[in-house]
Chain A
Amino acid sequence: MKKSEHEWKSNGLPALVTVGPVAVILVFLVVLPLMYVAVMSFCSIDSYYNVVYKFTLKNYAQLADPDYIHIYLQSILIALLTTVICVLVAYPFAYLIARTKSRNKNLLYMLVIIPFWTNSLIRIYGWRTFLGTNGWLNNALIKLHIISEPLDMLFNRGTTVLGMVYCLIPFMVLPLYSSFEKLDVNLLEASADLGATKLKTLKEIIIPLTADGIFSGGIMIFIPCLGYFFVSDILGGGNADVIGNLIERQFQSGNNWPLGSALSIILIIITLLLVKAYQKIGGSMESLAL
Chain B
Amino acid sequence: MTDIVELKKVNKVFGTNHVVSDLDLSVKEGEFLTLLGSSGCGKTTTLRMVAGFEEPTSGSIMVEGEAVGNKEPFERNVNTVFQSYALFPHMTIYDNIAYSLKMKKVKKSDIAQRVGEMLEMVQLQGYENRYPTQLSGGQKQRVAIARALINRPRVLLLDEPLGALDMKLRKQMQLELKRLQKKLNITFIYVTHDQEEAMTMSDRIGIMHDGILDQLGTPSEIYEHPATRFVATFIGETNIFDGAIHRINNNMASIDIENGLITGQSDGSFEEGDYIAVSVRPEKMKLSKVQVEGFSLEGVVKDFIYIGSVMKCIVALQNGNEIRMERLAGETLPGIGEKVYPYWDAQSAVLVHTKADTVFKTIENAPLAV
Q: Do A and B bind each other?
A: yes
Given A189-B53, A189-B73, check contact A196 B86 (CB 8 Å). Answer: no
Q: Which residues of A contact B74 (CB under 8 A)?
A: 192-197
Given A189-B53, A189-B73, A209-B90, check contact A195 B84 (CB 8 Å). Answer: no
Partner among B53, B72, B86 whose Cβ is within 8 Å of the Cβ of A187: B86
Tell me whether B103 and A184 are in contact (CB under 8 A): no
Q: Which residues of A contact B73 (CB under 8 A)?
A: 189, 192-193
Partner among A186, A200, A208, A209 whose Cβ is within 8 Å of the Cβ of B86: A186
Digitize B94-113: 1 where CB-to-A-CB distance is under 8 Å, 0 elsewhere: 00000110011000000000
Partner among B52, B53, B99 whose Cβ is within 8 Å of the Cβ of A194: B99
CA distance A195 to B78 in the complex (A): 10
Tell me whether A209 and B100 are in contact (CB under 8 A): no
Tell me whether B103 and A200 are in contact (CB under 8 A): yes
Residue A255 lies at the interface, judged by CB distance under 8 Å to chain B: no
Residue A190 lies at the interface, judged by CB distance under 8 Å to chain B: yes
Digitize A179-193: 1 where CB-to-B-CB distance is under 8 Å, 0 elsewhere: 000001011011111
Digitize B28-63: 1 where CB-to-A-CB distance is under 8 Å, 0 elsewhere: 000000000000000000000001110000000000
Tally of A-B Cβ pairs under 8 angstroms:
58
CB distance from A103 to the nearest CB of B (A): 16
Given A190-B80, A193-B80, A197-B74, check contact A184 B86 (CB 8 Å). Answer: yes
Residue in B closest to A196 when the chains form the complex, CB atoms:
B103
CA distance A194 to B86 in the complex (A): 12
CA distance A194 to B147 in the complex (A): 8
CA distance A194 to B149 in the complex (A): 10
CA distance A131 to B209 in the complex (A): 64
Given A200-B103, A209-B89, A209-B90, check contact A193 B84 (CB 8 Å). Answer: no
CB distance from A129 to the nearest CB of B (A): 46
Interface of A is mostly: helix
* B75-98, CB < 8 A from A: 79-80, 82, 84, 86, 88-90
Residue A84 lies at the interface, judged by CB distance under 8 Å to chain B: no
Residue A267 lies at the interface, judged by CB distance under 8 Å to chain B: no
Residue A205 lies at the interface, judged by CB distance under 8 Å to chain B: yes
Tell me whether A192 and B72 are in contact (CB under 8 A): yes
Q: Which residues of B contact A205 (CB under 8 A)?
A: 88
Residue in B closest to A188 when the chains form the complex, CB atoms:
B86
Tell me whether A194 and B90 are in contact (CB under 8 A): no
Q: Which residues of A contact B99 (CB under 8 A)?
A: 191, 194, 196, 204
Q: Which residues of A contact B72 (CB under 8 A)?
A: 192, 197
Tell me whether A194 and B82 are in contact (CB under 8 A): no
CA distance A56 to B286 in the complex (A): 107
Tell me whether B88 and A190 are in contact (CB under 8 A): yes
Q: Interface residues of A toward B: which range?
A: 10 to 19
CB distance from A209 to the nearest CB of B (A): 6
CB distance from A93 to the nearest CB of B (A): 23
Given A184-B86, A187-B88, A205-B88, check contact A193 B103 (CB 8 Å). Answer: no
Residue B362 lies at the interface, judged by CB distance under 8 Å to chain A: no
Tell me whether A194 and B100 are in contact (CB under 8 A): yes
Q: Which residues of A contact B82 (CB under 8 A)?
A: 186, 189-190
Name which of A189, A200, A205 has the most chain B CB atoms within 10 A of its CB: A189
Digitize B263-278: 1 where CB-to-A-CB distance is under 8 Å, 0 elsewhere: 0000000000000000
Tell me whether A195 and B88 are in contact (CB under 8 A): no
Residue in B closest to A194 when the chains form the complex, CB atoms:
B100
Q: Which residues of A contact B88 (CB under 8 A)?
A: 187, 190-191, 204-205
* A171-226, CB < 8 A from B: 184, 186-187, 189-197, 200, 204-205, 208-209
Tell me whether A194 and B84 are in contact (CB under 8 A): no
Name which of B52, B53, B151 has the most chain A CB atoms within 10 A of its CB: B53
* B146-166, CB < 8 A from A: 147-148, 151
Digitize B347-363: 1 where CB-to-A-CB distance is under 8 Å, 0 elsewhere: 00000000000000000
CB distance from A48 to the nearest CB of B (A): 61
Tell me whether A195 and B89 are in contact (CB under 8 A): no
CB distance from A118 to the nearest CB of B (A): 38
Name which of A190, A191, A196 has the most chain B CB atoms within 10 A of its CB: A190
Tell me whether B104 and A195 are in contact (CB under 8 A): yes
Given A186-B82, A189-B73, check contact A194 B103 (CB 8 Å). Answer: yes
Q: Which residues of B contact A209 (CB under 8 A)?
A: 89-90
Digitize B147-189: 1 where CB-to-A-CB distance is under 8 Å, 0 elsewhere: 1100100000000000000000000000000000000000000
CA distance A287 to B100 in the complex (A): 33
CB distance from B155 to the nearest CB of A (A): 12
Partner among B51, B53, B90, B103 whose Cβ is within 8 Å of the Cβ of A195: B103
19 contacts between A and B (CB under 8 A): A187-B89, A189-B82, A189-B86, A190-B82, A193-B52, A193-B53, A193-B148, A194-B100, A194-B103, A194-B147, A194-B151, A195-B103, A195-B151, A196-B99, A196-B103, A197-B72, A200-B103, A204-B88, A209-B90
* Interface, chain A (partner B; CB < 8 A): 184, 186-187, 189-197, 200, 204-205, 208-209
* Interface, chain B (partner A; CB < 8 A): 51-53, 72-74, 79-80, 82, 84, 86, 88-90, 99-100, 103-104, 147-148, 151
A186-B84, A190-B88, A196-B99 given; 4 more Cβ-contact pairs under 8 Å: A187-B88, A190-B86, A191-B99, A193-B52
Question: Which 9 A-B pairs have CB atoms at the shortest separation, nearest pair first?
Answer: A194-B100, A186-B86, A190-B86, A195-B103, A192-B73, A195-B74, A195-B100, A193-B80, A208-B90
